[in-house]
Each structure stands twice: as structure tokens, then as C-alpha cells.
Structure 1
Amino acid sequence: MTVLIQSKLSRPIAEQRFLLCDRTPEQYRHLLAALGEERSVRLTYDRGKIELVMPLELHEFSRELIGLFIRILVAELGLKLKSLGSTRLDRPDLDRAAEPDLAYYIQNQPKVAGKTINLNTDPPPDLVVEIDITHTDIDKLNLYASLGIPEFWRYNGQEWKIYALQTDRTYQELSQSPTFPTIEKAQLYQFLAASEQDEIAAEAQLRHQLRSSVISDLQ
């Protein structure tokens, strides 16, 4: 069965989504092979469901700017980073695979620096980000919890939600990021709003705020 998922009327169209149900892992892998690696469509496989997502302008704008926001935080806070982008997080043993909008190693960056990631032997990414402005029928919280992602961010075009993985393999929603505990949600919202007018000026402003905060903490 194929389902075209319509976006909610209250939200702008940012993605086109197609859902394929009752599909086997073999059918998922045949679809991957048919589409090839040089594609704009992102696929998620979750125990028989295949979701195909074609990002549109608003989705890509949000993804690029949230990615830049993270890189600025990492740089200004003196952390380390390995970016995976939308690299497929494939766990055939769990009958699941995901191509997130963004994925990063931060705390575990030293363990994977210079390596090609193998989820059978390497830890999962420390942080995964999904932009879901239109409705998705994939349970992303359950999906990424099963993959062992310690921190998961979701952005729906209006609200940034932060989830931390608990010992029982479920997520707890938090008001602040465990990776960036000094950062307030308002800073991302301000950065995105400023970027709509000028991305370069927004980046300079955010860096200035972060550096001023560090200086203030030292005084």
C-alpha cells in the first residue's frame, strides 16, 4: 500500500512524503539500489514501513541553519566534531534504518575521528537532528531510541524539542541540551529569525553573543 501524506493546513509545505507499508527489508534494499546514492530523496525504514521524503525550500533552509548553529556552538565552546550529515544509520538486526537530516559525533568524536563509521563496532552518533515540518507516520522517538542515539532534536518549523535517552531506552524531553547546557532555546529561534534577513550577520551576532557570555563567566 502506498500513502501520500498531506501536510497539515496550519503549516507551510516543507517536505513531500510518501509512505510504503508492509515492505520487507529486501524490498527496502532493492529500492535503495534502484534510487542510487546520488539522490535528493531520503529514506527511513522502520519494521515494514518505508518513508520517502523530498525536502523543499523551508526544510532545507531550516536544516542548513540548524547545522550552522551547531557548528558555531561546537567551535565557540571549544568542542570537537565529526559530521555525518544524512549518512544512513543502518541496523538490519533491528529491522530499521534512518537517514536523518543531521548527525554528529561530539562527545565520542575522538573514538571515530578519521574512521568510516561501522555501527556494529562504533558508538552511534551523539546527536541526531530531524526537521519534520509536515506530518510523519514514522515514530521517530522510538526509532532513534532503538538506535541508541543519546540526544535527539526535532524542529517542526516553530518549536525546537530536545530529547535525551534514558537508561530504559526511552526519551525524556528536556528544556536544554545536555550537549550544550548553557544554550537557551531562544538563541536558536533568534538565530533562525535573523538568518531570514541575512545569514552572515546572524552568524556574526551569534558568535559575538557566545564570546561575550564566555567573557562574562570568567569575570
Structure 2
Amino acid sequence: MTALFPILKPISQLRLSPGSVVTIPNVSWQEFESILQEMGEGRSARVTYSQNTLEIMVPLPEHEKPKDLISDIVKTLLKMSNRRYEPFGSTTFKRENTAGVEPDACFYIQNYQRMINRRRLQPDDPPPDLAIETDVTSKTTLDAYEAIGVPELWIYNSGKFTIYLFQNGKYINANTSPLFPGIPLTQLIPATVERAWQVGTVQALVEFEEAIS
């Protein structure tokens, strides 16, 4: 009788094509931490961890334009309302033994002063006030954000823009953003992203500013 032994290879040896999503169940927190360390920081793949499930996603090239554009829209809105902020990009946010997530972009607004000098997150640091995800439909992602408690989450997926607000430990859909009240973002952001494909990002941003002025 031939004995069968599992072949174990480092996660970093996975060769994933753009647009790929790999889901790995039954991953302990210690294994998640080890995988993060093994994969390093200078990688294209992004990871999400919740309820012992690890997801690894490699974005498509067309993922970058909406991500950057929506980030620029946030900066534009904050500048126009004379508010300061600290952007934290795709920083890995973790709740120990529970969840980990890497946004496409995120911003500290209410707590920006506290985060100005942060080169690395501290265990008692608050979550960002706003996180942005593009091309994400996974429940694992929403579960991870709920565990970490990000107050406001924006998801842009296949032309649809959704605002999620964290209330009583769960996310609810909202039509408007408390951070930017009175601005119809659910209509303007998809239109601006589509416009960017037609006329370029700079012109699309100019038109966005004109629309809200």
C-alpha cells in the first residue's frame, strides 16, 4: 500500500493571474500572521482574513483606475470642505485572533491628528474612518471589516457604488455618506469612474468638482 503525504509549499510560490481569487479555509490566526510575513509588503496580491478563512486576491489592471480615482474624489471632497486627513493606503488592519483586511485605500479623518506620526499601527489605534474597496463581492471581506469596526466602507464593484455604515456591530446600506452629507455619491461616483474611461482621470475629476460646486 502506498502512503500519501501532503505536499506543503509556501504561499509565496503560488502563481496567480490577475483577477484570481483563492480561498483557503481552516487557517489559524498564527498561520495567517505567518503568511503575511512570508508574502511581505511589496506584493500585488491582497489578503483578507475572517472566521478562519483566508482569501488572496490579485487585482486586474483595470482595478487601479477606479481605486485611484475614488481616492482622489475623497481628497477633493475633504479639501473642498477644508478638512484635514491622513491617508493610509493599503495598510493591513487586524483584530487579533479574529480578522485582517487590506483596503484599496483608507483615510483617517476624525482621528487624523493621532495618526500623523504613525509609521506602524499600534494595538490601540482606532480603525480608519473610511475604507475603499473596488471589485469586491466577498462576504469574507465584509465580515473582516465588521470585526475591525471601520465606521464607513465604500465598495465599487462592476459599475455599482455602495456605501456601508457600521451600526450595532453590522453594516447597513446607506444612500448618503455622513462624512459628505448632501452629496449624491451613489450616482456621482459611478458616473465619474465611467467618465474617466472616456476622457481621462483629470478631466473626470474637473467635471466632478463642477458638479458639486
Q: TM-score, normalised by structure 1?
A: 0.82
Q: 2:126 aligns with which of 100, 123, 132?
A: 123
* Aligned mates of 1:122, 1:17 — CA distance in 2: 30
* Aligned mates of 1:208, 1:36 — CA distance in 2: 41
Identity of aligned residues (%): 28
- Tell me the equivalent position of 2:180: 180
Is the contact between residue 15 and residue 59 of structure 1 (CA under 8 Å) also seen in structure 2? no
Structure 2 counterpart of 1:101, which letter?
Answer: D
Q: How far does residue 14 in structure 1 lie from its aligned partner after superposition?
A: 7.3
Note the aligned Cα RMSD (angstroms): 2.1
Q: How far does residue 86 in structure 1 lie from its aligned partner after superposition?
A: 0.7
Q: 1:29 aligns with which of 7, 26, 33?
A: 33
* Aligned mates of 1:130, 1:42 — CA distance in 2: 11
Is residue 46 of structure 1 aligned with residue 50 of structure 2?
A: yes
1:66-215 map, 5 Å: 66-93=70-97, 95-116=98-119, 118-133=121-136, 135-136=137-138, 138=140, 140-166=141-167, 168-184=168-184, 185-197=186-198, 198-210=200-212, 212=213
Q: Structure 1: which 5+ runs fail to align?
A: 1-12, 213-219
Q: How far does residue 187 in structure 1 lie from its aligned partner after superposition?
A: 1.5
Q: How far does residue 128 in structure 1 lie from its aligned partner after superposition?
A: 1.0
Is the contact between residue 90 and residue 119 of structure 1 (CA under 8 Å) also seen in structure 2? no
**Runs of 4+ residues over 4 Å off in structure 1:** none
- Tell me the equivalent position of 2:3: none
Q: TM-score, normalised by structure 2?
A: 0.84
* Aligned mates of 1:85, 1:201 — CA distance in 2: 23
Is the contact between residue 48 and residue 144 of structure 2 (CA under 8 Å) also seen in structure 1? no
* Aligned mates of 2:204, 2:70 — CA distance in 1: 12
User: Residues 141 and 32 from structure 1, CA distance in 2 versus in 1: closer, same or farther, beyond 3 angstroms?
Assistant: closer
1:149-181 C-alpha deviation (Å, 9 max, x unpaired): 111111112211111111x21122110011111
Structure 2 counterpart of 1:157, which letter?
Answer: S
Is the contact between residue 128 and residue 152 of structure 1 (CA under 8 Å) also seen in structure 2? yes
